[in-house]
Amino acid sequence: MFRTKLVIFLLLHLPSAVAAQVEIAKHLQREIIAARQTLEETERFCATRVPRLPKVTSAEQWQQIADRLRQRVLDEVVFRGKAAEWRTAKTKVEWLEEIPAGPGYRIKKVRYEALPGLWIPALLYEPQKLEGKVPVYLAVNGHDRNGKAAPYKQIRCINLAKRGVITLNVEWLGMGQLNTDNYLHYRMNQLDLCGTSGLAPFYLAMKRGLDLLLQHKHADPERVAVSGLSGGGWQTIFISSLDTRVTLCNPVAGYSSYLTRIRHHKDLGDSEQTPCDLATIVDYTHLTAMMAPRATLLTYNIKDNCCFESGYALPPLVAAARPVFRLFSKEKNLRTHVNVDPGTHNYELDNRQQFYRLIGDHFFPGQKDYSFEEIPSAGELKTAQRLTVALPKKNADFHTLALALAQSLPRTLPLPKTEDERAAWQKTQRRRLVELVKLKAYPIHAEMVGEKEIAGGKIQFWKLQLGKDWTVPAVEFSAGKATETVMMIADLGRKSLADEVKKSWTAGRRVLVVDPFYFGECRIASRDFLFALLVSCVGERPLGIQAGQVNAIANWARKKNKHHKVTLSAYGPRTSLIALVAAAADANAIAAVELHGALGSLKEVIQQNRSVREMPEMFCFGLLASFDVAQLTALCQPRPVTVVKE
């Protein structure tokens, strides 16, 4: 009998329920903004914030500017948080075995600490005959899983050693021996979340390598070179521009201006190339000019199949740096080379020989028997196994460093116990939160771009202009005389919310479904997380943009609908954090928060070993150092925050 009644009920009610569901889903999928709108707005947003090179009229003036920029980058970007302690830690160096090499040089295995607990394996290529002071060379490499064993890198090191140059072949984080999941460059942002620069391990690995080289009794501090390909090119310009001990550098296909990257998306760099807040101080045009008057060779490839093609990447760098070299009367110290054969992403024979030529001209001037032609050395290459350097079993990495940092976080005032304490605490901490996430109070202009009457109510489609920067789409479902508004956001975008809209709408609520920055219609189709890195690099925060958008739209909905109370419902861990931050930062916009699938703590981002490419806004610099979910929830009180278990 029960089964019969159930079947009859379903036959009567299911078709209309399904039809309503389909109708809602169809309208949630309607396109409201242009396909590339958010991408173009993000490009413009970032481009206007990239610093330009100042006009200078003398070498002395530029030197003062360059010195100030170096200090600021090191203090304000590289060595933030715990990294300030790593900076002053004593470097441990351990020499291991010497292995058979080739004629004229020997190879010594060595490991050194970039920071306490994080050891870098390296190989010292040492000329057999050493007298007096000789040049030294730090050999860095890019995104090559062969790491220090890459044939083109070995050949370069061998050739320099045979020319009398002491050469240190260092392993890069995430490559070669360090090619493990926890050295993935997109995990360095776990440190950022803790308020410690994830860039610091990269910088210290290079700095300590230079320290090791210059401690050699035969090292000539006047002849110090750095060179590498791709990510090695980035390392080259970064360490060379900021550490004036470097007297010659040759970055190969390693970087371009941020303004160039905005137009050529394949140049958008990994986390270390686009570190938080760097572009509030310098662009890569500045770093290139900061090499003046030291010997610099910019090598690019004409048809680079990876990134940084010579045709568009090189000219802006030269245009920025050459006038500065000219101020020092050292214009010839800035060289360029465009590789045609093979012309792809490489550090092969042609590019290597240009480097040897630079070394000869600056480190061995007048030496008649010096040749820039490569010395055949292919028969002396070693296997990666033979070049392996023993490391401690528990070598630190981005993940273990972040786990250790997170244990004592957040460092903030105790949660309030009374109403009086809460008011004072909230005022101070709300101001701190707004500053930390760079939250903006956006003025809003709403344009209704469509309207439809359907059974049960009305649907309106809105294009919301937030200030001069952002356009956000929204779909509003209204029914009868609703007295409250539910605003919905979701990790999977508004298209995923048909069920939730139907439940609230049929219950007599007004429903406003929004796609904030990076979600749904506002999601950048390709490399979206790299743009998130760029947004942070120019001094803003994706989380602040998103929370600011949500609050602006909630205030608009509240005023438009006769001061309805607005409940903010978020579906997924990413939008749940946005909702919590939005409500915590503004005491008026949102009356209640409902979170579905929220994290219980920001520490779970680290414990789950997430990377910035999965949930970019979660890695807001320093957020966990000051706030966890408990503190953010306390900022929302007395407004209710409901966590729905999924």
Q: Which structural domain range is residue 388 located in?
A: 59-403
Q: Contact 543/50 with Cβ under 8 angstroms?
A: no
- Indicate the DSSP class of residue 364: S
**Pair 289, 143 in one domain:** yes
Task: Spell out a b/e string for 9-28, using b for 16 or more CB atoms within 10 Å of the CB, else e.
Answer: eeeeeeeeeeebeebbbebb
**Pair 455, 571 in one domain:** yes
pLDDT tens-digit map of 11-23: 334 345 566 778 8
Torsion of CA 581, 405, 190, 286, to 10 degrees: 100
Q: Average pLDDT of 304-312?
A: 97
Q: Contact 75/67 with Cβ under 8 angstroms?
A: no
Tokens found for residue 232: 């090695």
Tokens found for residue 205: 């690995």
Is 70 exceeded by the pLDDT of residue 5?
no
Q: CB under 8 Å to 431, separation ≥6 — which residues?
A: none
Asked whether residue 7 is assigned to any structural domain, the reply reads: no
Asked whether residue 635 is assigned to any structural domain, the reply reads: yes
Give me the pLDDT at residue 413, please.
75
pLDDT tens-digit map of 588-621: 999 999 999 999 999 999 999 999 999 999 999 9
Q: Contact 144/207 with Cβ under 8 angstroms?
A: no
Q: Of 472, 464, 431, 473, which is closest to residue 584 (Cα–Cα)?
A: 431
Q: Of 442, 444, 453, 460, which is closest to residue 513 (Cα–Cα)?
A: 460
Chain centre to alpha carbon of residue 87: 21
d(CA 189, CA 627): 17
Give me the pLDDT at residue 19, please.
63
Is 80 exceeded by the pLDDT of residue 401?
yes
Q: Contact 548/464 with Cβ under 8 angstroms?
A: no
Q: Average pLDDT of 203-215?
A: 98
Is 70 exceeded by the pLDDT of residue 9?
no
Neighbours of 504 (CB within 10 A): 22
Asked whether residue 502 is assigned to any structural domain, the reply reads: yes
Q: Average pLDDT of 105-124?
A: 98
Is 50 exceeded by the pLDDT of residue 10?
no
Q: Contact 637/422 with Cβ under 8 angstroms?
A: yes
User: CA quadruple 400, 404, 407, 413: dihedral positive or negative?
Assistant: negative
Output the CA angle 587-593-595, nearest 5 degrees: 145
Give me the pLDDT at residue 415, please.
84
Choose one of 371, 403, 435: the last residue of a domain: 403
Fill in the amino acid letter for 585.
Answer: A
Q: Average pLDDT of 416-432?
A: 90
**Pair 231, 166 in one domain:** yes
Give me the pLDDT at residue 23, please.
85
Asked whether residue 436 is assigned to any structural domain, the reply reads: yes
Comparison of pLDDT for 23 and 261, the residue scoring more: 261
Comparison of pLDDT for 563 and 588, the residue scoring more: 588
Q: At what angle do helices 542-560 and 573-585 cross, to 10 degrees?
A: 70
Q: How many CA atoms lie within 13 A of 140 on its CB side?
A: 35
Q: Which residues pair with 105 in a beta bridge?
A: 127
Give me the pLDDT at residue 22, please.
82
pLDDT tens-digit map of 235-244: 999 999 999 9
Of 31-40, 265-274, 477-486, 577-586, the least confident:
477-486
Is 60 exceeded by the pLDDT of residue 7?
no
Fill in the amino acid letter for 259.
Answer: L
Give me the pLDDT at residue 507, please.
87
Q: Is 398 exposed, middle or buried (0-12, 13-18, 19+ CB in 10 A)?
A: buried
Strands 166-170 and 295-301: unpaired
**Pair 396, 351 in one domain:** yes
Torsion of CA 471, 473, 477, 478, to 10 degrees: 10
**Pair 501, 626 in one domain:** yes
Tokens found for residue 553: 């739209």
Instruction: For the chain, state the CA radius of gyration.
Output: 29
Cis peptide before 15 (omega within 30 of 0): no
Q: Phi and psi at residue 283, in whole multiples of 5°? A: -105, 175
pLDDT tens-digit map of 430-441: 999 999 999 999
**Pair 79, 210 in one domain:** yes
Neighbours of 375 (CB within 10 A): 17
d(CA 535, CA 437): 12
Give me the pLDDT at residue 18, please.
63
Output the CA angle 140-200-247, nearest 5 degrees: 45
d(CA 317, CA 413): 47
SS3 451: strand
d(CA 463, CA 444): 10
Q: Average pLDDT of 303-311?
A: 97
Is 80 exceeded by the pLDDT of residue 627?
yes
pLDDT tens-digit map of 478-523: 877 778 899 999 999 999 999 999 999 888 899 999 999 999 999 9
Give me the pLDDT at residue 564, please.
78
Give me the pLDDT at residue 422, please.
87
d(CA 274, CA 265): 13
Give me the pLDDT at residue 17, please.
54
Q: Of 340, 339, 337, which is closest to residue 317 (Cα–Cα)?
A: 337
Q: Number of structural domains, the chain?
A: 2
**Pair 102, 148 in one domain:** yes
Is 80 exceeded by the pLDDT of residue 339?
yes
Model confidence band, residue 3 (pLDDT cutoffs 50, 70, 90): very low
Asked whether residue 33 is assigned to any structural domain, the reply reads: yes
Q: CB under 8 Å to 357, separation ≥6 — which residues?
A: 372
Is 60 exceeded by the pLDDT of residue 301?
yes
What distance separates the 2 farthest-apart alpha carbons in the chain?
A: 106
Q: Which residues pair with 136 in a beta bridge?
A: 166, 224
Choose one of 403, 438, 465: the last residue of a domain: 403
Q: Of 336, 362, 369, 367, which is closest to residue 351 (Cα–Cα)?
A: 336
Asked whether residue 54 is assigned to any structural domain, the reply reads: no
Q: What is the 3-state secondary structure (H, E, C) of 451-485?
A: EEEECCEEEEEEEEEECCCEEEEEEEEECCCCCEE
Give me the pLDDT at residue 522, please.
97
Asked whether residue 337 is assigned to any structural domain, the reply reads: yes
**Pair 188, 335 in one domain:** yes
d(CA 556, CA 458): 19
Q: Contact 210/246 with Cβ under 8 angstroms?
A: yes
Q: Strand runs (DSSP E) across 532-602, as ranges?
A: 565-571, 592-596
CATH label of the domain that carries residue 311: 3.40.50.1820
**Pair 514, 557 in one domain:** yes
Of 89-93, 285-289, 455-459, the least confident:
455-459
**Pair 251, 343 in one domain:** yes
SS3 415: coil
Give me the pLDDT at residue 506, please.
87
Output the CA angle 462-467-469, nearest 5 degrees: 95
Neighbours of 565 (CB within 10 A): 14
d(CA 489, CA 580): 12
Q: Contact 17/505 with Cβ under 8 angstroms?
A: no
SS3 319: helix
Q: CB under 8 Å to 464, separation ≥6 — which residues?
A: 444, 445, 446, 447, 471, 472, 473, 474, 552, 553, 556
Helices (H), 281-418: 284-289, 310-327, 349-363, 398-406
Give me the pLDDT at residue 457, please.
83
**Pair 376, 456 in one domain:** no
Average pLDDT, the chain: 94
Asked whether residue 413 is assigned to any structural domain, the reply reads: no
Q: Which long-range contacts (CB under 8 A, 24 or more apart) does 60-69 make?
A: 62/289, 62/292, 62/324, 62/327, 66/289, 66/290, 66/292, 69/281, 69/282, 69/286, 69/290
**Pair 330, 475 in one domain:** no
Q: Average pLDDT of 165-194?
A: 98
Choose one of 403, 433, 452: the last residue of a domain: 403
